[in-house]
Structure 1
Amino acid sequence: MNENWGLTEAGFLRPSYTELLDALEVKAKELFGSSVNLSVRSPLGIFLRIFAWFAGMLWQLAEQVYNSGFVDTATGISLARLGAFIGIRLLAAQKAAGMLQITGEAGASVYAGFLVQARNNQRFVTLEDAVIGEGGTVSVPIQAYEAGPEGNVDAGAIDTVVTPLAAVVSVTNPKATAGGRARETWQEFRERYYN
């Protein structure tokens, strides 16, 4: 086998299938003589090719283990664990939040979990119980029903009542909702790691 394979000063060098097969054939000729039949159809030739293929898989695994220790080459959970060393974690998807103004019958109660919908079909849910004031309005915090950037809607985009409530005449969001995001991508995580 080649001394330059594996962990070297230049990093990890993985042999190709062809290089492995060549090395195995050289060793077979050393052991059995230069006239040994190593053709594709010979028993020894078939065995060497199968062995080279499995050895190649092991070398690939070894390379993946080596690469999992570096931010630029690690993937998946290995990359997330590297972030844990410096105290950062992959950002999960988040739900957008904001305030909802409810207009309706003074003194009527609106319970937490009241559903409304924006023009882009994104649903929002109230987070607290509220009572409509004497002026016929009340403001209550809301959160998107599902996580993701689609929950970030413009001011006035929420205008549909989903949960029927006779005392409620209309709903709107005076300001845009914000904070909704998809799960952080691995590339975003790498950039944040370096920052």
Structure 2
Amino acid sequence: MTTDFGLKETGYIAPSFAEILDGVEDDYRTRLGDDIALTSNAYLGIFARLMSDASYDLIQQQEQIYYSGFYSTAVNSALDRLAGNISLTRKVDAPSHAEVVITTEGEYLIQAGEKFETEDGLVFDLTEDVITSKQSDGAFQGTGNVECEETGEFTNVPANTITLFANPDEDFISVTNPRPAGGGQDYEDDETFRKRLIMENAARPGPTEPGIKSALMNLNGVKQVGFIDNDKYKTDEYGNPECSVHIYVLGGNDDEIAKTLIDKCAAGITLAGSIVKEAPDATGKLKEVKFDHAQQHNIYVKIDVSINDDWNSDAGVDDIKQAICDEINSLEMGQRVNFTRLYSVTYDVNGVDDATIAIGSTKDKLADQNISIGRSEFAHCDPGDVEVDLIGL
């Protein structure tokens, strides 16, 4: 075969099937003469195509092997093996965890395995026994940890949503989760894993800001990490004490976050935050850390759309809503929402001729202007927060 292929100075050259076939046919003509029949129904033509097809499959496999050696192009198990070289593993499906406060009629032993639910039917199991005791206000309360029976990011339910007893008892008064559930994780796809692998390779987990971020991003359910450094000898404009670091985490389990901060933060660093947790250090001594979860900044969108004959009346509106949400929800913590960027994803939906977009932080105040997001906030939009009006229908 005269076609040039293989590893060259510029990388791996993989010809197309047509190029391989041309090379095989040229070889035949060189050896057998120019007057031979090489059409698709001729004997030699069929044989040439069979040879070309086998060579094409082999070259494609060789190309895949070549690209499996690089972070930017490896996929599936090859990407997992590359990550294993630096002791990094892909995140797999995991359930969320939450802390619940249970109120009973009197002192009561609630055994591990007791089930609690959300209004949407998500079931959480108590992971250890809880004994309720009398509080200063006279109520009998106890605190315990629960784990969702299902896995995935959707199990990271908001605060005060685990409010139902799966097995009601006359001694049970109420249950709730004061803080959101965290740690729920979908299976990490190649592109998400690849970004984390590249970040890990650039900044290994350690006491630097990139190193702490890398370590936290390896935890199940953690999607973003932000920092506010106050290097002044006075309280900053965010209320952080002097010479402190305030770490904001989007998602994740509080206990795992605390343990990671104990392991990776430099000695003597002052951490700020409203969430206070204790975790053991390498010697087993309990240390206290502080941090916060990033706050959700809801974004509302209204779009007036003119459509053409290519419009899909069944899925078009949902496609626009999902495209808008994906664009907004992909922004980093503290990143401004530019309303003009929503036009491109809207026009990408088949059948859209023209569009007018307004956005806002509340439903009743929408305008064609950008929205600033606080450093400790992340922009979020649900399909139900997007209103799409079709012009002329």
Provide the TM-score with structure 2 as the length reference: 0.47
Q: Relative to structure 1, is the Cα distance of residues 3 and 37 closer, same or farther in structure 2, using a 3 angstrom cutoff?
A: closer
Name 1:25's counterpart in structure 2: 25
Which of these residues, 166, 169, 181, is aligned with residue 165 of structure 1? Answer: 169
- Deviations for 1:21-67, whole angstroms, at most 9, x for unmatched residues? 11111111122122222222221111111221121111111111111
Shift of residue 3 of structure 1? 6.4
**Equivalent residue pairs, number:** 195
Alpha-carbon distance in structure 1 between the residues aligned to 2:190 and 2:172: 44
- Counterpart residue identity of residue 110, structure 2: V
Q: How does 1:102-181 map to 2 (within 5 A)?
A: 102-134=102-134, 135-181=139-185
Q: Relative to structure 1, is the Cα distance of residues 38 and 150 closer, same or farther in structure 2, using a 3 angstrom cutoff?
A: closer
Alpha-carbon distance in structure 2 between the residues aligned to 1:49 and 1:151: 53
- Counterpart residue identity of residue 139, structure 1: T
Larger radius of gyration: 1
- Deviations for 1:134-179, whole angstroms, at most 9, x for unmatched residues? 4422111112222222222222111111123332122111222222
Alpha-carbon distance in structure 2 between the residues aligned to 1:2 and 1:25: 10
Note the residue ranges of structure 2 that are not aligned, 5 or more in a row.
Answer: 200-393
Higher strand share: 2
Q: Given that residues 122 and 150 in structure 1 are in contact (C-alpha distance below 8 angstroms), is that contact kept between their aligned partners in structure 2?
A: no
Alpha-carbon distance in structure 2 between the residues aligned to 1:128 and 1:156: 20
- Deviations for 1:86-140, whole angstroms, at most 9, x for unmatched residues? 2211112332222111111323221101111123332211111122224422111
- Counterpart residue identity of residue 154, structure 1: P
Alpha-carbon distance in structure 2 between the residues aligned to 1:177 and 1:40: 63
Q: Given that residues 3 and 15 in structure 2 are in contact (C-alpha distance below 8 angstroms), is that contact kept between their aligned partners in structure 1?
A: no
> Identity over aligned residues, as a percent?
30
Higher helix share: 1
C-alpha RMSD over aligned residues: 1.7
Higher-RCO chain (CA-CA 8 Å, sequence separation at least 6)? 1
Alpha-carbon distance in structure 1 between the residues aligned to 2:22 and 2:16: 10
Name 2:44's counterpart in structure 1: 44
Alpha-carbon distance in structure 1 between the residues aligned to 2:183 and 2:45: 62
- Counterpart residue identity of residue 174, structure 1: P
Q: Given that residues 91 and 185 in structure 2 are in contact (C-alpha distance below 8 angstroms), is that contact kept between their aligned partners in structure 1?
A: no
Alpha-carbon distance in structure 1 between the residues aligned to 2:42 and 2:31: 16
Runs of 4 or more, structure 1, over 6 Å off, are none
Provide the TM-score with structure 1 as the length reference: 0.91
Does 51-60 or 132-141 show the bigger shift? 132-141
Name 1:194's counterpart in structure 2: 198
- Counterpart residue identity of residue 14, structure 2: R
Q: Given that residues 105 and 132 in structure 1 are in contact (C-alpha distance below 8 angstroms), is that contact kept between their aligned partners in structure 2?
A: no
Alpha-carbon distance in structure 2 between the residues aligned to 1:149 and 1:16: 41
Secondary structure, in 3 states, of the residue corresponding to 1:64? helix
Name 2:326's counterpart in structure 1: none
Does 15-24 or 144-153 show the bigger shift? 144-153
